[in-house]
Amino acid sequence: MSIEMKTKYGQIDISNEVVATVAGGAAIDCYGIVGMASKNQIKDGLTDILRKENFTRGIIIRQEGGALHIDMFIIVSYGTKISEVAHNVQSKVKYTLEQTIGISADTVNIYVQGVRVTNP
């Protein structure tokens, strides 16, 4: 599935993979994020931090009735306020999508899959 945009020059199709890559890149830059978690973690029973080139696997893009919904599975750093980290990720992802692709996400849902102690 892809996002279709019509302009005066023609039609633009943006794949969900591109949206996930932009959203993941924005999220990984936020303070307090250790990495993205696998969205199949609950089913697999594995807690693994995905490297930067794999952060799209921690994101689900859904389109329902013309609305764009993003589900993000993240791992946060120990000692950070989880609600603030989640709010910062939501804000940055929405802003980055609007500035980079020109689309706005209706919802950005954050699922914290774990907390990691990072080395000082």
Domain ranges of the chain: 2-116
pLDDT value for 10: 93
Q: Are strands 67-77 and 107-116 parallel, antiparallel or unpaired?
A: parallel
Specify the CATH number for 2-116; select among 1.10.10.10, 3.20.20.60, 3.40.50.300, 3.30.70.1350.
3.30.70.1350
Return the structure tokens found at 88.
Answer: 């910062």
58-104 residue pLDDT tens: 899 999 888 899 999 999 999 999 999 999 999 999 999 999 998 99
Return the structure tokens found at 65.
Answer: 């009735």
- What letter represents residue 24's amino acid? G
Choice among 27-36, 41-50, 64-73 with the minimum mean pLDDT? 41-50
Q: Average of pLDDT values for 97-113?
A: 93
Report residue 39: phi and psi, to 5°.
-70, -15
Crossing angle between the packed helical segments 16-28 and 82-100, to the nearest 10 degrees? 130
Choice among 15-29, 36-50, 62-76 with the minimum mean pLDDT? 36-50
